[in-house]
Amino acid sequence: MQIGLERLVADATLRAPLAGRRVALLAHPASVTRGLTHALDALAALPEVKLSAAFGPQHGLRGDKQDNMVESPDFTDPRLGIPVFSLYGEVRRPTDAMMDSFDVLLVDLQDLGCRIYTFITTLRYVLEAAAKHGKAVWVLDRPNPAGRPVEGFTLREGWESFVGAGPMPMRHGLTMGELGHWFVATLGLDLDYRVIPMQGWQPEAAPGFGWPLGERSWVNPSPNAPNLSMARAYAGTVMLEGTTLSEGRGTTRPLELFGAPDLDIPRLLRDMHALAPQWLRGCVLRECWFEPTFHKHVGRLCAGVQIHVEDPVHYDHAAFQPWRLQTLAFRAIRLQQPDYPLWRDFPYEYERDRLAIDLINGSPLLREWVDDVQAAPEDFDQAVRADETAWLEARRPHLLY
């Protein structure tokens, strides 16, 4: 398999339209070749590519910011001498001055296949800016490690945010290149947009189901994205950011587990299986204990659950529903302890007036169902499936593979 970056570096005909034009790169630490050469270095080694600037998304070009909502400054690359602009610092949308630094922007970002992952919002913002300024954007495509399945409510109108780039479900099943086509079509953008597609990507092939497992090294696209298991679970566990439960930040398995000091895990697992066992297929849930070294419940022993999706004997890619699984855990906690302070009220990704759990889900629908203990799982599932079916049709014209 070849990713878009590798094809661009290997094929001079693909690079030909860049001749004589100022080129910028939007990248992060996982923007590497199979040999682990960073995209910035790989492009700088091409004599006909004139690099004039670089951009970094959330967590920075180098991935130096460990926690969420920690901004990165602009700086000058010490080796290339070009400006590196932060799109998660003083601004999240590129300024006019930033846009004046290039003619063509190459976007090489490893995504996780989840709407809340802010790299796709950054993609939308640079596409909108490019259309305004008459610039070209090329996406050097990469795998979606979560594969093609879709899951979750569609983001409702008026709920757009930095963690909600547009009306798509939580797990969208597209690559960055495909998302770019969807943004251009949905937003009615007029610009020179193109994708350097992958060759040989097989999103339905075992054992990776989207990620070329055994063929490539995993490089964290963000500091708390350490492996494929996290990427598979993330569409559900990311919701923990909007709760008082720990998502495992401050442990070696972030966003693969959840817990708190005051949970009865054996009872929680029994209740989840009793409420909607069909939402728990495709994985193994294991009772565990952990003590975060930073973030929520730091230094306290937490009773928790780890979601295991790495063993091919137990992992069923088509059956696994991480968003429903995590929703079910919330409902079980609410039934056990009606007054449990589940929803965390704090400023989240520059939003202060709406609950984080609602921003994450693109509407209050999930929270309202969890808190309405009389509402049936079947009714919830039917409403979600209507959105998922509609998305499968909406995304179809934009599939490249």
Q: What integer pLDDT is reported at residue 70 of this predicted model?
A: 64
Q: What integer pLDDT is reported at residue 67 of this predicted model?
A: 56
Same-domain check for residues 148 and 265: no
Answer whether residue 69 shows pLDDT above 80: no
Neighbours of 257 (CB within 10 A): 25
Answer whether residue 68 shows pLDDT above 60: no
Q: Domain of residue 347: give its range.
A: 228-385
Same-domain check for residues 235 and 201: no
Q: What integer pLDDT is reported at residue 350 of this predicted model?
A: 80
Q: What is the CATH number of the domain that holds 78?
A: 3.40.50.12170
Strand order in the sheet with 83-86: 75-76, 83-86, 50-56, 22-27, 104-108, 136-140, 192-196
Structure confidence by residue, pLDDT tens digits, 356-368: 999 999 999 999 9
Residue 293: pLDDT band by 50, 70, 90 thresholds? very high
Mean pLDDT of 224-230: 97
Which residue in the block uniquely carries the two structure tokens 């939308």?
Answer: 124
Q: What integer pLDDT is reported at residue 73 of this predicted model?
A: 84
Q: What integer pLDDT is reported at residue 397 of this predicted model?
A: 98
Q: What is the CATH number of the domain that holds 303?
A: 3.90.1150.140
Mean pLDDT of 222-231: 96
Is residue 82 within 8 A of residue 52, CB to CB? The reply is: yes
Residue 62: pLDDT band by 50, 70, 90 thresholds? confident
Mean of per-residue pLDDT scores for the chain = 96
Cα gap 116→118, rounded to integer Å: 6
Mean pLDDT of 304-309: 98
Same-domain check for residues 206 and 347: no
Q: What integer pLDDT is reported at residue 349 of this predicted model?
A: 84
Domain tally, the chain: 2
Same-domain check for residues 54 and 200: yes
- Burial class of residue 52 in the structure, from the number of CB atoms within 10 Å of its CB (0-12 exposed, 13-18 middle, 19+ buried): middle
